[in-house]
Structure 1
Amino acid sequence: MRIALGVEYDGTDFLGWQRLSHGATVQGALEQALSRVAAQPVAVTCAGRTDAGVHGRCQVVHFDTDVEREMRGWVLGACSNLPPSVAVLWAQPVPDTFHARFSARSRRYRYTILNRPVRAALDARYVTWERHPLDAAAMQAAAQPLLGEHDFSAFRAVSCQAAHARRCVLAVAVRRQGEQVIVEIEANAFLHHMVRNIVGSLLPVGRGQQPVAWPGELLAGRDRAVAGPTAPSSGLTFVGPRYEAHWGLPAEVSQ
């Protein structure tokens, strides 16, 4: 049987999603918890790996097992064996043809910037602080050239192992919400550090240090060396993937 799970996590204290031998990861914690519920080893496959410090609102994973448990048992059993910073939101059986990564039509990220003179206390783990006033409207205009399919080499980490840099951005929006400036991006897939590098190149526009046309020029130039710095991981949340409705997954990950 193949089972899909929705997983929420605070990534602050993890070295990222992917299982490692030398430190705490979200995948490692989840597999350990599920293995206890199953009383045998369980390995999961996720929709999209996240880096150290990045959070997940509804990561989707699948795993195969011949162990019979109620779906509620997988949820409650996993949660009781997970650290407080990770929770399984839901579980449901899926066809063997479903694949958390390859069946996803798109992925969504949200980057949250606290834009005020004083640093955060309560929300420090989930935002990036920017003390200088930001022009969210200028950032929104600057982000629009990123829409569509392009070579995103200018926003690709040097360590990125993807076979090529072409990705299709389906939606991008920047808006102000009180003291926060929120950047939301949806694409068919993302390169390593792509969202954080895009945000790092939108921030100088918001501060008035670069013109609105600059991110589009960076995109066309394909040179990571002249683009903005990588924005901190704390402000980034993987909102989740989207799947076609016929898979029957919860509405938050279906389209």
Structure 2
Amino acid sequence: METIRLRLDVSYDGADFSGWAAQPARRTVAGVLTEALGRLVGAETPLGLTVAGRTDAGVHATGQVCHVDLPLDSWAGLEGSLLRRLAALMPPDARVRAITPVPASFDARFSATFRRYEYRVSDTPWGPEPLRRHDTLGWVRPLDLDRLNAAAAGLVGEHDYAAYCKRKEHATTVRAITRLEWRRDPDGVCVATVQADAFCQSMVRSLVGAMLTVGDGRREPSWPARLLRLRERSSEVTVAPAHGLTLVAVGYPEEAEYAARADATRRLRA
């Protein structure tokens, strides 16, 4: 069966999802997307759904990317209407925002050059604004932006982040963080931007949890970087709640470099 590969740009409110990955008897983003596509191309059609980053339960996305392989005859009948039809079939807390034909060498997971997340924290005495309660953490202690950024600076670069990761057997915990910084938006919310080639499970939320204890004065700015000496998860690090975290962007190289990037990533992860 001849197929065409499609890149899907996806957004979702993670509050009522048990994460991205399909799970029996649980509502997941992959589950509702697969169901919607199945109603259009047949539930038994293999889609090869592959995602850039498997977000955990409660984590949101405005810039998630995945790919599927649709039969060419199905695509011929849906090309002009697939986006609109998915909008009618998907639940209101998950949207496919763009559908783009891509070469078969494109791999949403392995061709990616970076993932970028943001974590929102309100340190006002009254907590997050009600309309932002699903994507903003309330922090009861005032946060100092200079201390947050001092802590962040020590975590940038290629390191073994074992202290901040939930280790998986035969998987590396070495990652390359290329951007880690905090800003305070006009509404007063502190926002951490974290960008890396890839992340271990719970890594971003663990980094945020460590930096918040620096920002509120309970730890020194050098403490998060000192944990990089460890080769196992640190019990001193509290994982920040999932709902403050949003995947905002996934980067890819030029089209001609998709396959080479995917091969390099597979070798690195092995």
TM-score by length of 1: 0.92
CA distance in 2, matches of 1:141, 1:115: 18
Deviation of 1:19 after TM superposition, in Å, equals: 0.2
Distance 1:44 1:247 in 2: 22
- Select 2:216's aligned residue among 192, 207, 211: 207
> Where in structure 2 are there 5+ consecutive unaligned residues?
259-270
Q: Note the 1:240-251 alignment, pairs <5 A.
A: 240-246=249-255
State the match for 2:67 in structure 1: 62
Give, in whole Å, the separation in 2 of the partners of 1:133 and 1:235: 17
8 Å contact from structure 1 (residues 162, 191) kept in 2: no
The correspondence of residues 129-148 of structure 1 with structure 2, limited to 5 A, is 129-148=138-157
The alpha-carbon distance between structure 1 residues 162 and 123, as it changes in their structure 2 partners (threshold 3 A), is: farther
Q: Which amino acid aligns with 2:95?
A: A
1:4/1:62 contact within 8 Å kept: yes
Written as runs of structure 1 = structure 2, the 5 A alignment for 1:16-31 is: 16-31=19-34
How far does the alpha carbon of each residue in 1:92-134 deviate from its partner, in whole angstroms, 9 at most, with x for none?
Answer: 1111111100110111111000111112322110111102110
Partner of 1:172: 180
Cα–Cα, structure 1 residues 117 and 72, in superposed 2: closer, same or farther, change >3 Å?
Answer: farther
Instruction: Report the residue type matching 1:49 in the other structure.
Output: R
Look up the match of 1:14. 17
What is residue 51 of structure 2 aligned with on the other side? 46
In 1, Cα distance between equivalents of 2:87 and 2:170:
33
How many percent identity over aligned positions?
Answer: 36
* TM superposition shift of 1:43: 4.2
Q: One-letter code of the match for 1:55? A: H
Q: Distance in 2 between matches of 1:181 and 1:31?
A: 35
**Deviation digits for residues 165-193 of structure 1 (CA, Å, limit 9, x no counterpart):** 10011111111114211011110010000
Paired residue secondary structure (1:77): helix
1:235 to 239, 244, 267: 244
Q: Residue 16 of structure 2 aligns to a residue in which SS?
A: coil
